Amino acid sequence: MGKIIRRILLGLFIVLVLAVAGGYLYITRALPSAGETPTLSVDATPGHIERGRYLAHHVYACMSCHSDQQHQLFAHPTDPSGFGKGGRVWDEKDGLPGKVVAPNLTPFHLGEWTDGEIFHAITAGISRDGRALFPLMPYPAYGKADKEDILDIIAYLRSLPPIPNEVPLTELSFPMSLIVNMIPKQPAFSQRPDPSDKVAFGGYLAAVASCNDCHTPMVKGRYDETRRFAGGNPFPLGHGDVVRSANLTPHESGLKHWTEASFIAAFRKYSDSAYVHPEIAPGEFNTVMPWNEYSAMSDAELSALWAYLQTLPPVENPVQKFSAGGGQ
Ligand code: HEC
Ligand code: HEC
């Protein structure tokens, strides 16, 4: 009797070992997988490059992550001396599982890549060497964007002056180093909605401009889809200071008392030529929201964002936007 049980246990143990080993091999060898790297080429006419510049700076805000930031100034404006040079680091201090580094997007790094390889990295999250990208790079949203937007952005990246800046590779800690391989997915592109359909257009912009990523509460590493745009996500600013994303739903504790005009004005403030970003000392209110970059969005875009936010279910979530020196 004891012998039989031992055999069964041994059998089960072997099955378990094989399943774990198989799972490990699958995750490390077969994944990431998100379809073939597409063969395509961008149309690098001045019109497409200019549209790509506008999108990369002011809507998708690629440049705010892939350039240095002026940390001493309010809202950390992008340092104009090195657009796309890469090197920004996010790590455990920001609540991340490891050290995540934004690569150089100028031809110094991407010069040898094909347009299809750049496109695949942006929309499927798989780098040229087959590495899965950590989704701080918003590829899950970009894989649902309009291909034309991405192609124009690539045309712009190609036009940047090469900036010699070797950037170290991202290093994720275990188990994220394995889990990250399961995140890239085959893109499911959409069509940019017609601006006359304000709500649909605003929803598209809220996704590709990462508003959703910062403003939808994250619980245990997942977005709480039942409380979309209810805010409250903490962003450490150093020195123990913490800023939290605002509630953008039309609730009393959100934007209920805002108007379309006050919403647009909140952005426009930073594009006013008379506005000077004040220097901010540790312990004073600062934010990670790239106000400066978004402030150049068109009236039609800001108005569509407002129209979209108004359609959200109101969610009660009073947010203390800032606390100094380690307070939660
Ligand atoms: C919130 C910050 C953020 C935004 C916004 C962002 N990126 Fe990234 N991006 C990153 C990070 C971080 C990585 C590296 C991820 C990793 O190594 O796992 C990355 C990786 C990439 C890569 C892969 C390069 C390589 O060497 O593998 C490309 C290409 C890229 N981003 C382009 C873009 C473009 C184009 C946009 C705008 C459409 C954009 N990114 C917006 C943070 C961002
Ligand atoms: C990198 C994260 C991040 C991104 C991306 C982001 N926000 Fe924010 N947002 C914040 C944080 C943090 C605050 C609170 C501090 C402040 O007012 O700047 C905030 C505040 C706001 C406020 C002010 C609300 C209030 O009650 O004062 C509005 C409006 C807003 N965001 C809209 C947007 C929209 C629209 C987008 C996309 C176009 C967006 N945000 C993208 C982080 C972000």
Contact 207, 144 (CB under 8 A): yes
pLDDT tens profile 131-188: 999 999 999 999 999 999 999 999 999 999 999 999 999 999 999 999 999 999 999 9
pLDDT band at 16 (very low <50, low <70, confident <90, very high): low
**Worst-scoring range by mean pLDDT, 30-44, 100-114, 295-309?**
30-44
Name the closest ligand to CA 135.
1
C-alpha 125 to ligand 1 mean position (Å): 9
Q: What is d(CA 137, CA 172) in angstroms, rounded to the nearest whole number?
A: 14
The yes-or-no verdict on residue 22 having pLDDT over 80 is: no
What is the reported pLDDT for 327?
A: 44
Q: What is d(CA 258, CA 187) in angstroms, rounded to the nearest whole number?
A: 36
Mean pLDDT score of the chain: 93
What is the reported pLDDT for 297?
A: 97
**Worst-scoring range by mean pLDDT, 13-27, 94-108, 175-189, 201-215?**
13-27
C-alpha 139 to ligand 1 mean position (Å): 8
Name the closest ligand to CA 65.
1
The yes-or-no verdict on residue 28 having pLDDT over 90 is: no
The yes-or-no verdict on residue 326 having pLDDT over 60 is: no
The yes-or-no verdict on residue 328 having pLDDT over 50 is: no
C-alpha 215 to ligand 1 mean position (Å): 19
Name the closest ligand to CA 322.
2
Instruction: Give the HSE-up count for residue 147: Cα atoms under 13 Å, Cβ half-sphere.
Output: 12
Tokens of 10: 């041994």
- pLDDT more than 70, % of the chain: 96
Q: What is d(CA 277, CA 215) in angstroms, rounded to the nearest whole number?
A: 23
What is the reported pLDDT for 1?
A: 59
Q: Is the CB of residue 208 below 6 angstroms from any atom belonging to ligand 2? A: no
Bond preceding residue 168 cis, omega within 30 of 0: no
The yes-or-no verdict on residue 76 having pLDDT over 50 is: yes
